[in-house]
Structure 1
């Protein structure tokens, strides 16, 4: 029985043990998520395969650049086999001393190159949670500001409401030493550089993204998840979003936002959360074309029958905002 993740199903082929990693297969589905709600009502045909093919190319690019990843092999059209580590909860529950390796870190390392509309940075600046100096800027940035150097941030991943963390807090949460934290930072910069250069070659902007890591049984840091896909990175073409920000904006503008933060704070069990509204019927085929065309441009593969990405972006302008 597969384990259902937000947009992927996990099939455990060989379970990890305290002394060695296991083997898993991610099946990329046509589901999408916004607002940390989990799977939304609609499926977007072709999204899973499109994301999987992009992830495959990204793993090859990153490994060529010397980044160790959990990737093992591509299983067309929409599955990837990977090295499977223990979850932080399973590692902590193991008998004996505190676990040192063979575990997924409960951390995401975020990288930011640009600050487009929709970036959480603008909200955090307005709330006083960030200052322009934290971004290396003298004044509050406008939407679309490009940073002179990438901004690296840390956040938790396995909490009801994930938190931004200082480097010291991230190190403590993951049980890393200073050398490992430095390696985490430097590897993330390499990941960002490789993906940003590839995006530029494809005529796209790679505005921001995130990386997750596991620590092997011999305490090596290894890149995990699916970096550089539109589920993990913010990609744009000529200032237009090419991913779930389009869907998020519709929910916000139409008054159908899901207040997950308040529901969690109020202790409302997920079984009692309101069912999200479905997308307008016009959205699904356009988003399907968008993901498939973006994948073709990113991977250089052609599977036929997909409009050009620029034409799809033009179509997006005609979709209902509310």
Structure 2
């Protein structure tokens, strides 16, 4: 590692800070460090005003455990090493220039500008319900014959694609996703099949500890040898929607409070109307009693997921009851 690595740079739409240790080039992969912060994001607004103490460390431990599980299942990831208490070192790829022709695997070493999403259930808060109601999706698109009810479990998971480099990410058709990824038919299918396998591994683990893994997303990079590599932090509560006894275990709890209390920030409308970000309204802070409950939730989820008793957090059953009570207030 160089003696003077670059300082941590916040990624305002992310819950992680990035340190570039060795920048990637056209011929060499780089090295980066993610610091998992106590920030959370909702509504595409970016970082919200209240940190959740302990969240970053809890999520980081889940990410490290997931990289180990996925690699044991034969998948290649960008993970290099854990740096206690809340950082990981990872393989850093180039960001493609979206105004030019897409990168292709022959050019190697680039981050694919896509989220690949998998859905197993359609719980409260799933965007599928809104998109079906708006006519942006049909039941056939999600493998159903009729409009699904809230909470419906799908007979088989389905895969979707969304952009990652826009102010508000868009769901896109597979054809546009393949073009953005710069992959041929075989490579694009390999990415889909890997996503299905990621889902199987993470959903199977969740079931063992009594969690419903409703949906999630993964990202990929193309390595210098032209092979697909799992990136980001699959299977963490920032990337997956998990529920315990019908209660959300992640940022959907925070979304629900903002919506239920009338404090939702209408980011999509603000962007559509061309309102400069500097003129957006400031989000309301969370009620003081809410924050320690969320700390317990993230720590309890992490301990249940990893089997590590680092904070002696309350059991998930206890914490999710507290979540239900505070959301109802």
Give the conservation status (yes or no) of the 8 Å contact 2:221–2:228: yes
TM, length-normalised to structure 2: 0.94
**Bigger shift: 53-62 or 135-144?**
135-144
1:218 offset after TM fit, Å? 2.1
Equivalent residue number for residue 155 of structure 1 = 162
1:212 offset after TM fit, Å? 0.3
Matches within 5 A, 1:41-56: 41-56=49-64
Match of 2:143 among 128, 136, 139: 136
Equivalent residue number for residue 174 of structure 1 = 181
Give the number of equivalent residue pairs: 321
1:90 offset after TM fit, Å? 9.1
**Bigger shift: 28-37 or 260-269?**
260-269
How many Å separate the matches in 2 of 1:139 and 1:265? Answer: 32
Equivalent residue number for residue 86 of structure 2 = 78
How many Å separate the matches in 1 of 2:101 and 2:180? Answer: 16
CA-to-aligned-CA distance 1:279-314 (integer Å, 9 cap, x gap): 011110000000001000000000243111110111
Matched, 1:310 2:278: no
How many Å separate the matches in 1 of 2:226 and 2:243? Answer: 36
TM, length-normalised to structure 1: 0.96
CA-to-aligned-CA distance 1:32-74 (integer Å, 9 cap, x gap): 0000111000000000000000000000000000111000011
SS in 2 for 1:209: strand
Gaps of 5+ in 2: 1-6
SS in 2 for 1:77: coil
Matches within 5 A, 1:1-322: 1-5=7-11, 6-89=14-97, 100-321=107-328
Give the conservation status (yes or no) of the 8 Å contact 1:4–1:10: yes
Gaps of 5+ in 1: none
1:89 offset after TM fit, Å? 3.2
How many Å separate the matches in 1 of 2:230 and 2:105? Answer: 22
How many Å separate the matches in 1 of 2:228 and 2:130? Answer: 32
Closer, same or farther in 2 for the Cα pair 1:318/1:68, shift >3 Å? same
